[in-house]
Copies of this chain bind each other. A is one copy, B any other.
Amino acid sequence: MAPRPASKTAVPSDKVGVICRALRRAIIEQALAPGAKLPEDSLGERFGVSRTIARHALGQLAAEGLVELRRNRIAVVATPSWQEARDAFDIRIELERLVVRQLAGKLTKSQVAELNAHVDAEDRARDGSDAVSIRLATEFHILLANMTNSPILVRYVSEVAYRCCLTLSLYSRPHSSECAINEHRAIIAALVKGDEAKVMSLMHSHLDSVASRALVAPAPPRGRDLLDILAPYAEEGESERVVKMPKVVRAR
């Protein structure tokens, strides 16, 4: 596959981008649970920008389906229905099958190393919080998508993966991710081997099992103070990109 130009994020300015990334992360780490309120003022205050910018960021996230905007009402973190969650997983399966189909047998050595490093990180984080495990697992898939060098595919996979994460907050029992990690390793192996059919079916069953383990029963809502929750996300630390490169798991 011929190398292609890297993806350019379609972010308007970048203050907006900073806020979006922070909120996305807060959401997938379940610091912001579905239904959590996101007033423009508080957001602006927390990130040191005006409401205009916060509002714009909320607009972007709404376009991605992570946030719900209701006219004249405070925006909230999206609360997808069970059926929407199932739909998201169905779409995700198709998209990620496409990803591995394009990638099978075409990974460079350094890419393989990067993937392995990421899974190692997942392994190391296994004892940590569920939130981090879930984030890392998701980022593995986004990392894969990135390697296709198809900006559109990256965007869709990321979006739908985030949405799926969101549903985990709602419908999943406490995460047990060990098997998932092994499945990640199996996928890498099949990719390296270049067995297109095999890797597609691996990805399919992997996501399918994640979905069925996840979509079992509703979980209780929780609430804390928005400003507190966002504190650790306010200054965009280490990981400028959603998927940070391997090695070190810990956030500074």
Contact = CB atoms under 8 A, between A and B. Distances in A.
A44 interface: no
Given A90-B98, A91-B152, A94-B98, A71 B10 contact: no
Contact of A152 (B13, B60, B69, B88): B88
A187 to B, nearest CB: 18
29 contacts: A4-B81, A10-B62, A10-B68, A10-B69, A12-B55, A12-B59, A13-B71, A52-B52, A55-B56, A56-B59, A59-B59, A60-B63, A63-B63, A63-B64, A65-B152, A65-B155, A83-B150, A84-B150, A84-B151, A87-B151, A88-B152, A91-B95, A91-B152, A91-B153, A91-B156, A94-B97, A94-B98, A95-B95, A156-B160
A244 to B, nearest CB: 21
Nearest to A56: B59
A153 B58 CA distance: 21
Residues of A in contact with B, size category? 35 or more
A184 interface: no
A37 interface: no
A129 to B, nearest CB: 28
Given A12-B71, A63-B64, 10 more contacts: A12-B58, A12-B59, A59-B59, A87-B150, A90-B153, A91-B152, A91-B153, A91-B156, A94-B97, A95-B95
